[in-house]
């Protein structure tokens, strides 16, 4: 038996698993991340977690460990260029340092790319040669599989799908530019739009749900399910912006399937009619039959995908 270890490196938690080549999970650990303590302490924490999920498995049965990192990564050298959620993470040779500590082969990838690999091998993209994964949460990220291979590009920085500009006069994005898809359709922008709209609709259920005058994305979804007029309008607008971005992805990458993960994917059935309307109206006819589906692995996409970097 051969096993593969995956680690999802987040600003709040570290998660690690051990899987086999079919994606079956044999060990799964989660600890609070020492993200603010600097690279040395966090790398030591990752190494410890890797050894914990190895357990008493014979060393010769461990193929290696993959690490998903929230930021741009060179997948060849394993250098993390920058991880904003982690203190002091600039040009960190994570692959080399973990190989030295664990004596295991290490692969490092951007967290969105890694999640795409997980969904492609073991989730919603299984069986596809051409597949796009999009995560919609605080921001928008994604990964692309083309011709049965993860599309990496120069320095491994391809497929920054959230930063495709959809309106050059649009709002300021976290990247510093204006009008990115992320600035219109992320969970953050959805919540921002909801709170701005509260002033325009005095009878909305959202006023009753607000805590200190502020509502969350979850509140909007709950109100929409109760047929609240303002919430339904916000869902329609979010679905349309999601559709605009996905129309672009269809034309850029010509996938067989687009899978949507992240926090807002839990409400995908509410958004889907508007996503489909935009695709049907704006995409060229040859692209309109491509299904948009919910990701299958949920919160495990990233950590499974990290392990899957070493599979096959």
DSSP string, 179-231: SBHHHHHSHHHHHHHHHHHGGG-TT-HHHHH-BTTB--HHHHHHHHHTT-HHH
pLDDT for 120 beyond 90: yes
pLDDT band at 283 (very low <50, low <70, confident <90, very high): very high
For residue 157, the model assigns a pLDDT of 85
216-221 CB contacts, 8 Å cutoff, 24+ apart: 216/191, 217/187, 217/190, 217/191, 217/263, 217/264, 219/194, 220/190, 220/191, 220/194, 221/266, 221/267, 221/270
pLDDT at 312 over 80: no
pLDDT > 90 in the chain, percent? 87
Task: Tell me what pLDDT residue 155 has.
Answer: 84
Domains in the chain, CATH or no CATH each: 3-118+300-308 (3.30.420.40), 126-295 (3.30.420.40)
Residue 272: pLDDT band with limits 50, 70, 90: very high
- In this structure, what DSSP letter does residue 312 have? -
Sorting pLDDT into bands at 50, 70 and 90, what band is 10?
confident
How much of the chain is in helix, strand and coil states, percent to nearest 5?
45, 25, 30
Residue 174 banded pLDDT, cuts 50, 70, 90: confident
Q: Average pLDDT, stretch 203-211?
A: 92
d(C-alpha 267, C-alpha 299), whole Å: 15
Residue 2: the pLDDT is 95
Distances (CA, A) of 143 to 65, 110, 253, 310: 20, 9, 11, 17
* pLDDT cut 70: percent of the chain above it: 100
Give 127-172 pLDDT, tens digit per residue: 999 999 999 998 999 999 999 999 999 888 899 999 999 999 999 9
Of the two residues 86 and 190, the one the predictor is more confident about is: 190
Mean residue pLDDT of the chain comes to 95
User: What is the pLDDT, as a whole number, of residue 172?
Assistant: 94
The stretch 194-216 carries a mean pLDDT of: 91
pLDDT band at 12 (very low <50, low <70, confident <90, very high): confident
**pLDDT for the residue numbered 199:** 85
pLDDT for 63-106, tens place per residue?
999 999 998 899 999 999 988 788 899 999 999 999 999 999 99
pLDDT at 207: 93
pLDDT at 252 over 80: yes
Distance CA 311, CA 306 (A): 10
Q: Is the pLDDT of residue 226 over 80?
A: yes
In whole angstroms, how far apart are CA 260 and each of 55, 243, 302? 33, 12, 13
pLDDT at 200 over 90: no
């Amino acid at each position: 038996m051969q096993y593969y270890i995956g680690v999802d490196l987040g600003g709040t938690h570290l998660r690690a698993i051990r899987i086999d080549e079919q994606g079956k999970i044999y060990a799964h650990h989660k600890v609070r991340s020492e993200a603010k303590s600097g690279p040395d302490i966090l790398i030591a924490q990752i190494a410890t977690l890797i050894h914990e999920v190895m357990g008493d498995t014979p060393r010769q049965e461990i193929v290696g460990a993959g690490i998903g990192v929230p930021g741009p990564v060179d997948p060849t050298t394993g250098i993390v260029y920058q991880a904003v959620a982690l203190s002091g993470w600039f040009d960190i040779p994570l692959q080399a340092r973990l190989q030295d500590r664990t004596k295991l082969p290490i692969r490092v990838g951007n967290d969105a790319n890694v999640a795409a690999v997980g969904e492609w091998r073991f989730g919603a993209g299984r069986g596809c040669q051409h597949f796009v994964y999009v995560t919609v949460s605080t921001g928008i990220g994604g990964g692309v599989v083309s011709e049965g291979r993860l599309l990496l590009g120069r320095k491994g920085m391809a497929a920054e799908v959230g930063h495709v500009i959809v309106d050059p006069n649009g709002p300021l994005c976290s990247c510093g530019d204006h009008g990115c898809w992320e600035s219109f359709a992320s969970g953050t922008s959805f919540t921002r739009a909801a709170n701005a709209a509260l002033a325009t609709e005095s009878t909305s259920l959202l006023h009753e749900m607000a805590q200190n005058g502020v509502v969350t994305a979850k509140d909007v979804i709950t109100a929409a399910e109760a047929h609240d007029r303002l919430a339904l309008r916000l869902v329609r607008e979010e679905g349309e912006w999601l559709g605009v971005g996905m129309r672009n992805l269809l034309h850029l990458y010509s996938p067989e399937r687009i899978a949507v993960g992240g926090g807002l994917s839990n409400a995908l059935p509410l958004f889907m009619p508007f996503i489909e309307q935009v695709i049907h109206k704006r995409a060229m006819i040859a692209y309109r039959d491509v299904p948009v589906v919910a990701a299958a692995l949920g919160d495990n996409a990233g950590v499974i995908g990290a392990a899957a970097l070493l599979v096959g």
